[in-house]
C-alpha cells in the first residue's frame, strides 16, 4: 500500500481525503501522509543513531587492541589454512629472515619467532569500516543540526518588483527548529527582467522551454551599490546566508481599471498561475476600492487558438497572439472581515456573475492594449502590458556542507573497507624446505596467488 | 537560439538499435544452443560446442557495435548526452551491461551467464523500443547541468554491476535449488546438466559478492552526486522525493547485504536472495517509480 506524501504530491493527499473521507483522518493521525517528518520516523532515526554508536564504540576498542597486538602465532598445521603451500628447498637456513624482509617490504606487520614468521596486513580495512560508521553518525548529526538551523521561504516577484529579506516579505516560510529571524541578512533584490526561450525550431519540440533567465540586481544594505546577478534553473544566486533559486514562472498581465467617471480604481500586474505547458494561465483580480466591489476571474492565453468546440486554448507558451478573457462578479469580496484570503482564488458565494457564464453579458475579451467596458456601468478595463513573474525559493541550510563532507568520508571509508584485503601470512622453516600459509579475514580474491608469490620470491631471493 | 534536433538521425539510430536486437537474438539463441550442447551426453555434440561459443561471442560483439552506433547517433540527433529519458537510459544502460560483460569475458568463469546477459539486453531493448520510446526532445532546463553526466553515468554503471551480480545470484540459486535436484522430469535433468557446467557455487557466490561491492560503491556515489545536484536544482539536498526514497531504500538493502555477509556470516542462499531483492528494488525504482509515482524525477517523457 502506498500513500501519497504531502511533500511530493500534495494534490494526491487532498484527493485521498476526498475519496476516503473516513479512512484518511485515521491515516493522517498516524502521520502516514507526512512519513518523513512523523514522530515514529524520528524514533526510527534516533534508534538507528543509538545502535550505530552502540556498534561502533566497542568495535573501535577492539580495533585499537588489534592495532597494538602483534600478528598471531603460526598455526600448527599449515595445510588447514584456506591457502597453503609446502616447498621442498635445500637452502632454507635463512628462510625466516628472508621471509621477514619480503613480507615487510609488501607492507605487512611482521613478527619473527624462531623458525616461524607471522605477518598481517590490511588493518586499514577495519579502520575504513569504522570511518564509514562514524561518518554515518556525522551525517545524521549534520542533517539534524543543519535542518534545525535551516529555513526555506517562497516569494513570487513580478518584473520590476523588489524583495527585502525579512519574514514579512515572504509569501510562505518554513523555518527549522532552531531558526530565529535575526539569522536573515536584510539584503534586497529586484527582479529586473525575466526571459524564457521556447523552442520554435524543432517540430517535435515546439513550445518546450529551453532556458529560463532571471536578471536581478541586489543590494546588501540600502545604501550599498547594486550588484547585478543571474538566476537560472540549476544556478541559484548566492547571497549571504541565503541561496535564491528559480522554481517557477509565468505571466503577470498589467491591467488598469477605471470607474465610470474615469478614476483609476485598480492598476497593477497580477500574477496569473500557468495551468498548462502552453501557459494558459488563470488569474484573479479583486477590486475592493470601487464604488460597488467586484472581482474578475481571468484567463490569459499567450497564443490563442479557438477549438472546434468554441473553447479557447493556448498553442504556444510565448505571447505571439495574446488574449485575456474575463468573467466579472459583483458583490462582497470578503476582504473587509480581516481574515486572510487566497489571492489566487475568488470566493463567489456572496457574489453575482455579471459577465460571462450564464449571465446576460458575454465574457470580456481583450487583446494587448485594448480597453473594453465592464458590465453594469462598473467602468472600463485596459490590458496595458504583459510582464512575467518568477517564483523564487530562498533557502539556506548550513548543515549541507557538513553532510557532504561526512558522506564523502563515509564513501572513502566503505570503499577502503570493501576493497582492501585483510590477511595473515605465515612462513615456517621445515626440515625439507619451508611452508607458506595465508588466511583471509573477509573477502580476498587473491589469497592463493599471494601464497604462491611469497613462496616464489623466497626461492628466487635465495638463488642470488 | 536553441539547439537543432535531428529527426532523421534519430530514426537511423532506431534502425541500428533494431539491428542490434536482431543480432542479440541470434547471439542469445547461439549461446543457448551452446549450453544445451555442452550439457549433452554425447561427446561428438560437445566437441562442436567451443566453436559455437566463439560464434556466439562474435555475434554479441557485433550486436554491441551496432548498439553503440545506435546510442551515439541518438546522442548526436539530440545534441546532448543520450540518457535523458527512460528510452535513452535503457539503451545506454544495456550497452554498458553488455560492454562490461564482454570485458569480463576474459574471466572464463563468467562465460556461462552469457545466455542470461544477452537475453537480458534483448529484453531491455525490446521494452525500450516498444514501451519507453519517445522522439528526440531537448533537455528541460532542470536537466541542463554537468551533473546529468556524472550522476547518471555512475547510476548506469552501478545498475550494470548490480545486474551482472543478480544474474550470478540467479545461477547460484538454481544450482543450489533442491526442487531441481530432486525432480524426475527429463527437462530438469537437462537443466541440471547445464547447471553442472557452471563454476562451483563458491566461485559464483564470490563473483556475485564482488560485483555487488563495486555496484554498492558506485550507488553510494550516485546518491551523493544526486544530493549535490538536488541542492543546486531543487534548493535542498534531500527532500524525500519518491525517487530519492527508493534510491536510499536500494542503498540500504545492499548495505544490509554487505553487512550480513561481513558480520552475520550470512552467505549462500540467504545472501543470494538478499542481493536479488536489491536488484528487484533497482528494477522497481526504474520502472514503477518512474512511470506511476509522482515526484520530481519525472523524466520518462511518457504521459
* Least confident stretch, A34-48, A50-64, B17-31, B219-233: A34-48
Contact A445 B241 (CB under 8 A): no
Contact B231 A400 (CB under 8 A): yes
Q: Are residues A350 and A455 in the same domain?
A: no
Task: Judge whether A89 lies within some domain.
Answer: yes
Residue B1 clears pLDDT 90, i.e. is over it: no
Contact A208 B140 (CB under 8 A): yes
Q: Are residues A435 and A337 in the same domain?
A: no
Q: What is the rounded distance in angstroms from the CA atom of residue A148 to the CA atom of residue A176? A: 4
Contact A36 B240 (CB under 8 A): yes
Interface of B with A in 177-216 (CB under 8 A): 206, 209-210, 213, 216
Q: Are residues A366 and A443 in the same domain?
A: no
Q: What is the rounded distance in angstroms from the CA atom of residue A458 to the CA atom of residue A452? A: 10
Structural domain ending residue among the three candidates A388, A413, A446: A388
Q: Are residues A255 and A330 in the same domain?
A: yes
Residue A4 gets the label, from left (phi > 0), alpha (psi -120 to 50) or beta, of beta
What is the number of residues in chain B? 303
Q: Are residues A271 and A363 in the same domain?
A: yes
Q: Are residues A270 and A383 in the same domain?
A: yes
CB A320 within 8 A of CB A366: no
By Cβ distance, the residue of B5, B221, B261 closest to A411 is: B221
Structural domain ending residue among the three candidates A372, A388, A404: A388
Q: What is the rounded distance in angstroms from the CA atom of residue A38 to the CA atom of residue A43? A: 9
B224 interface with A at CB cutoff 8 Å: yes
CB A426 within 8 A of CB A118: yes
Q: Are residues A255 and A367 in the same domain?
A: yes
- DSSP string for A113-175: ETTEEEEEE-HHHHHHHHHHHHHHHHHHHHHHHHHHH-EEEEEEEETT-EEESSGGG-SEEEE
Task: Judge whether A199 lies within some domain.
Answer: no
Partners of residue A434 on adjacent β-strands: A87, A429
Contact B227 A211 (CB under 8 A): no
Q: Which three cell numbers stand for residue A423?
A: 590477511
Locus of grid cell 500586474 = A269
pLDDT value at position A334?
A: 82
Q: What is the rounded distance in angstroms from the CA atom of residue B27 to the CA atom of residue B7? A: 30
pLDDT value at position A1?
A: 45
By Cβ distance, the residue of A8, A210, A408 closest to B138 is: A210
B146 interface with A at CB cutoff 8 Å: no
B299 interface with A at CB cutoff 8 Å: no
Contact A395 B236 (CB under 8 A): yes
Burial class (CB in 10 A: 0-12, 13-18, 19+), A1: exposed
Give alpha helix (H) positions in chain B: 7-38, 43-78, 86-104, 114-127, 147-176, 178-182, 186-197, 201-233, 242-262, 268-286, 288-292
Contact A407 B227 (CB under 8 A): yes
Cα Rg of chain B (Å, integer): 20
Mutate to test the interface with B, among A204, A214, A249 (most CBs of B within 10 A): A204
Q: Kindly provide the ipTM of the predicted complex, given to two decimals.
A: 0.85
Task: Judge whether A320 lies within some domain.
Answer: yes
Q: Are residues A298 and A370 in the same domain?
A: yes
Q: Are residues A255 and A349 in the same domain?
A: yes
| Of the candidates B68, B74, B61, B71, the residue with the CA atom closest to the CA atom of residue B23 | B61
Burial class (CB in 10 A: 0-12, 13-18, 19+), B12: middle
Contact B210 A243 (CB under 8 A): no
Could you give the 3-state DSSP secondary structure of residue B234?
Answer: coil
Contact B137 A204 (CB under 8 A): yes
Contact A411 B220 (CB under 8 A): yes
Locus of grid cell 512519513 = A35
The pLDDT mean for chain B works out to: 87
By Cβ distance, the residue of A212, A407, A443 closest to B141 is: A212
Confidence of residue B62 (pLDDT cuts 50, 70, 90): very high
Residue of A nearest to B225 (CA): A404
**A274: part of which helix (H) or strand (E)?**
strand A273-274
Contact B224 A407 (CB under 8 A): yes
Q: Which three cell numbers stand for residue A204?
A: 517535435
The conformation of residue A303, written as its DSSP 8-state character, comes to: B
Contacts of B299 in chain A (CB under 8 A): none
Task: Judge whether A60 lies within some domain.
Answer: no
Residue B131, phi then psi, degrees to nearest 5: -100, -45
Residue of A nearest to B230 (CA): A234
Contact A210 B142 (CB under 8 A): no
CA angle A71, A74, A76 (to 5 degrees): 160
Residue of A nearest to B139 (CA): A210
Contacts of A143 in chain B (CB under 8 A): 238
Contacts of B228 in chain A (CB under 8 A): 404
CA angle B99, B139, B235 (to 5 degrees): 105
Q: Are residues A348 and A438 in the same domain?
A: no
CATH number, position A100: 3.30.310
Residue of B nearest to A196 (CA): B141
The conformation of residue A368, written as its DSSP 8-state character, comes to: T
CA angle A83, A88, A93 (to 5 degrees): 105
Task: Judge whether A323 lies within some domain.
Answer: yes
Residue B278, phi then psi, degrees to nearest 5: -55, -45
Q: How many A-B residue pairs are in contact by the CB < 8 A criterion? A: 117
Residue of A nearest to B208 (CA): A443
Instruction: Say how many domains are in chain A.
Output: 2
* Higher pLDDT among residues A117 and B261, named by residue: A117
Residue A418, phi then psi, degrees to nearest 5: -90, -30
Domains in chain B: ranges and CATH: 1-139 (1.20.120), 143-303 (no CATH)
Q: Which three cell numbers stand for residue B288?
A: 514503477
CB A454 within 8 A of CB A447: no
Confidence of residue B296 (pLDDT cuts 50, 70, 90): low
Q: What is the rounded distance in angstroms from the CA atom of residue B282 to the CA atom of residue B271? A: 17
What are the Cα distances from residue A68, in Å, to A104, A109, B302?
A: 17, 11, 60
- How many whole angstroms from its chain centre is CA B265? 28
The b/e string for B244-280 (b: 16+ C-beta within 10 A; e otherwise) is: bbbbeebbebbbebbebbeeeebeeeebbebbbbbbe
What are the Cα distances from residue B188, in Å, to A463, B178, B231?
A: 57, 11, 54
Question: What's the longest Cα–Cα distance across chain B?
Answer: 70
Q: What is the rounded distance in angstroms from the CA atom of residue A85 to the CA atom of residue A101? A: 19
Task: Judge whether A353 lies within some domain.
Answer: yes
* Higher pLDDT among residues B104 and A164, named by residue: A164
Residue of B nearest to A392 (CA): B235
Task: Judge whether A164 lies within some domain.
Answer: no
B262 interface with A at CB cutoff 8 Å: yes
Q: What is the rounded distance in angstroms from the CA atom of residue B19 to the CA atom of residue B125? A: 11
Pair type for strands A433-441 and A422-429: antiparallel
Contacts of B221 in chain A (CB under 8 A): 411
Q: Are residues A329 and A442 in the same domain?
A: no
Mean pLDDT per 10-residue interval, chain A, length 464 residues: 70 84 86 79 84 90 92 90 88 86 92 92 93 93 90 94 93 88 93 92 82 95 92 93 93 95 93 93 92 93 93 93 95 81 85 87 93 93 96 92 95 93 92 91 83 89 52
Q: What is the rounded distance in angstroms from the CA atom of residue B169 to the CA atom of residue B272? A: 5
Task: Judge whether A188 lies within some domain.
Answer: no
CB proximity list for A95: less than 8 A, separation 6 or greater: A89, A115, A427, A429, A434, A458
For chain A, the first-to-last Cα distance in angstroms comes to: 73
Locus of grid cell 521561504 = A153
Q: Are residues A332 and A457 in the same domain?
A: no
Query: Which domain, by its residues, includes A307?
Result: 249-388
Q: Which three cell numbers stand for residue B44?
A: 561428438
Residue B294 clears pLDDT 80, i.e. is over it: no
Residue of A nearest to B148 (CA): A234
CB A177 within 8 A of CB A399: no
Q: For a pLDDT cut of 90, what percent of chain B falls above it?
A: 46
| Of the candidates A39, A35, A43, A27, the residue with the CA atom closest to the CA atom of residue A9 | A35
Cα Rg of chain A (Å, integer): 36
Contacts of A36 in chain B (CB under 8 A): 240
Residue B301 clears pLDDT 70, i.e. is over it: no
Amino acid at each position: 500500500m502506498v500513500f501519497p506524501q504531502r511533500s511530493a504530491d500534495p494534490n494526491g493527499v487532498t484527493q485521498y481525503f476526498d475519496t476516503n473521507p473516513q479512512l484518511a483522518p485515521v491515516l493522517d493521525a498516524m502521520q502516514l501522509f507526512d512519513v518523513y517528518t512523523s514522530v515514529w520516523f524520528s524514533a526510527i532515526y534516533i534508534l538507528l543513531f543509538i545502535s550505530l554508536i552502540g556498534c561502533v564504540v566497542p568495535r573501535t576498542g577492539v580495533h585499537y587492541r588489534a592495532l597494538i597486538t602483534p600478528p598471531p602465532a603460526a598455526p600448527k598445521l599449515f595445510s588447514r589454512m584456506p591457502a597453503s603451500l609446502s616447498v621442498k628447498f635445500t637452502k632454507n637456513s635463512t628462510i625466516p629472515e628472508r621471509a621477514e624482509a619480503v613480507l615487510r617490504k609488501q607492507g605487512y606487520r611482521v613478527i619473527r619467532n624462531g623458525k616461524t614468521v607471522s605477518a598481517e596486513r590490511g588493518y586499514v580495512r577495519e579502520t575504513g569500516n569504522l570511518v564509514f560508521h562514524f561518518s554515518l553518525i556525522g551525517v545524521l548529526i549534520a542533517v539534524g543540526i543543519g535542518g534545525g538551523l535551516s529555513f526555506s521561504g517562497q516569494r513570487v516577484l513580478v518584473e520590476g518588483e523588489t524583495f527585502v529579506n525579512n519574514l514579512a516579505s515572504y509569501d510562505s516560510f518554513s523555518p527549522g527548529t532552531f531558526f530565529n529571524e535575526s539569522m536573515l541578512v536584510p539584503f534586497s533584490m529586484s527582479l529586473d527582467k525575466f526571459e524564457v526561450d521556447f523552442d520554435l525550431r524543432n517540430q517535435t519540440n515546439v513550445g518546450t522551454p529551453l532556458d529560463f533567465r532571471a536578471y536581478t540586481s541586489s543590494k546588501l544594505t540600502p545604501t550599498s551599490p547594486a550588484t547585478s546577478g543571474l538566476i537560472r534553473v540549476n544556478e541559484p544566486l548566492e547571497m549571504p546566508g541565503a541561496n535564491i533559486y528559480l522554481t517557477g514562472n509565468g505571466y503577470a498581465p498589467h491591467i488598469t481599471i477605471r470607474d465610470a467617471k474615469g478614476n483609476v480604481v485598480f492598476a497593477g500586474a497580477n500574477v496569473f498561475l500557468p495551468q498548462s505547458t502552453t501557459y494558459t494561465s488563470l488569474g484573479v483580480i479583486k477590486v475592493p476600492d470601487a464604488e460597488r466591489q467586484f472581482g474578475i476571474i481571468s484567463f490569459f492565453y499567450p497564443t490563442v487558438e479557438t477549438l472546434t468546440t468554441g473553447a479557447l486554448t493556448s498553442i504556444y507558451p510565448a505571447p505571439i497572439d495574446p488574449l485575456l478573457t474575463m468573467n466579472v462578479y459583483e458583490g462582497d469580496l470578503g476582504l473587509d472581515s480581516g481574515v486572510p484570503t487566497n489571492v489566487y482564488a475568488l470566493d463567489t458565494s456572496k457574489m453575482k456573475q455579471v459577465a460571462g457564464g450564464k449571465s446576460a453579458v458575454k465574457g470580456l475579451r481583450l487583446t494587448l492594449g485594448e480597453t473594453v467596458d465592464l458590465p453594469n456601468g462598473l467602468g472600463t478595463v485596459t490590458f496595458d502590458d504583459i510582464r512575467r513573474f518568477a517564483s523564487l525559493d530562498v533557502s539556506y541550510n548550513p548543515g549541507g556542507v557538513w553532510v557532504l563532507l561526512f558522506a564523502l568520508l563515509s564513501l572513502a571509508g566503505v570503499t577502503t573497507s570493501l576493497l582492501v584485503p585483510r590477511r595473515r601470512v605465515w612462513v615456517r622453516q621445515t626440515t625439507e624446505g619451508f611452508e607458506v600459509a595465508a588466511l583471509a579475514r573477509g573477502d580476498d580474491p587473491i589469497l592463493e596467488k599471494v601464497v604462491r608469490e611469497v613462496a616464489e620470491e623466497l626461492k628466487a631471493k635465495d638463488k642470488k | 537560439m536553441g539547439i537543432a534536433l535531428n529527426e532523421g538521425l534519430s530514426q537511423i539510430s532506431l534502425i541500428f538499435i533494431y539491428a542490434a536486437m536482431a543480432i542479440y537474438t541470434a547471439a542469445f539463441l547461439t549461446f543457448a544452443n551452446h549450453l544445451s550442447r555442452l550439457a549433452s551426453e554425447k561427446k561428438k555434440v560437445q566437441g562442436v560446442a567451443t566453436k559455437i561459443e566463439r560464434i556466439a561471442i562474435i555475434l554479441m560483439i557485433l550486436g554491441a557495435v551496432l548498439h553503440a552506433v545506435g546510442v551515439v547517433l541518438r546522442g548526436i540527433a539530440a545534441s546532448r548526452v543520450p540518457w535523458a529519458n527512460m528510452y535513452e537510459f535503457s539503451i545506454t544502460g544495456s550497452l554498458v551491461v553488455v560492454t562490461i560483460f564482454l570485458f569480463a569475458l576474459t574471466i572464463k568463469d563468467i562465460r556461462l551467464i552469457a545466455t542470461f546477459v544477452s537475453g537480458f539486453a534483448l529484453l531491455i531493448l525490446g521494452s525500450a523500443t516498444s514501451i519507453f520510446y519517445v522522439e528526440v526532445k531537448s533537455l528541460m532546463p532542470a536537466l541542463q547541468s554537468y551533473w546529468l553526466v556524472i550522476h547518471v553515468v555512475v547510476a548506469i554503471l552501478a545498475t550494470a554491476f548490480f545486474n551482472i551480480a543478480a544474474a550470478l545470484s540467479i545461477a547460484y540459486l538454481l544450482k543450489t535449488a533442491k526442487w531441481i535436484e530432486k525432480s524426475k522430469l527429463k527437462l530438469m535433468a537437462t537443466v541440471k546438466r547445464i547447471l553442472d557446467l557452471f563454476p562451483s557455487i563458491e566461485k559464483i557466490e564470490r563473483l556475485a559478492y564482488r560485483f555487488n561491492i563495486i555496484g554498492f560503491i558506485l550507488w553510494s556515489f550516485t546518491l551523493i552526486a544526486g544530493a549535490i545536484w538536488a541542492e543546486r536544482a531543487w534548493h535542498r539536498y534531500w527532500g524525500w522525493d519518491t525517487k530519492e526514497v527508493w534510491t536510499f531504500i536500494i542503498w540500504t538493502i545492499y548495505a544490509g547485504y554487505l553487512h550480513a555477509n561481513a558480520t552475520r556470516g550470512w552467505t549462500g542462499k540467504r545472501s543470494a536472495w538478499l542481493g536479488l531483492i536489491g536488484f528487484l528494488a533497482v528494477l522497481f525504482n526504474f520502472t514503477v517509480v518512474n512511470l506511476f509515482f509522482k515526484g520530481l524525477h519525472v523524466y520518462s517523457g511518457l504521459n
